[in-house]
């Protein structure tokens, strides 16, 4: 199933800009000219570092507009549109 407003899978926006917030809404940062080919997992850690969040915690990104988790190993620029609103959240696994 493909989201209506998502970019086609083969398209990678590079560079890309986005707004990121943490789950509490305390930190809100604008990012511009980010390498759209970097995977979302790497960018999640860079966002966490920029927000001075604990780096001993694994972080992930959620697309706030579409309420979906981004695939960590896929390029960010292929998963979100320019100007996306992302939330950096701690990764947790149940089980």
Tell me: the pLDDT tens digits for 25-77? 999 999 999 999 999 999 999 999 999 999 999 999 999 999 999 999 999 99
pTM across the whole model = 0.84
Domains of the chain in start order, with CATH, are 16-90 (3.10.20.90)
Q: How many residues does the chain have?
A: 95
Query: Across the chain, where does the E strand assignment appear?
Result: 16-22, 28-34, 59-63, 68-69, 84-90
When pLDDT is cut at 50, 70 and 90, the band that residue 4 belongs to is low
Residue indicated by tokens 């080919």:
37
Which one-letter DSSP state was computed for residue 42?
H
């Amino acid at each position: 199933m493909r989201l209506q407003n998502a970019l086609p899978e083969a398209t990678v926006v590079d560079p890309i800009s986005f707004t990121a917030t943490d789950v509490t809404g305390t930190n809100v940062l604008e990012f511009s000219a980010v390498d759209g080919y970097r995977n979302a997992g790497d960018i999640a850690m860079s966002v966490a570092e920029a927000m001075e969040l604990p780096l001993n915690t694994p972080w992930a990104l959620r697309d706030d507009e579409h309420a979906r988790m981004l695939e960590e190993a896929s390029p960010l620029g292929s998963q979100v549109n320019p100007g996306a609103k992302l939330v950096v959240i701690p990764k947790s696994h149940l089980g």
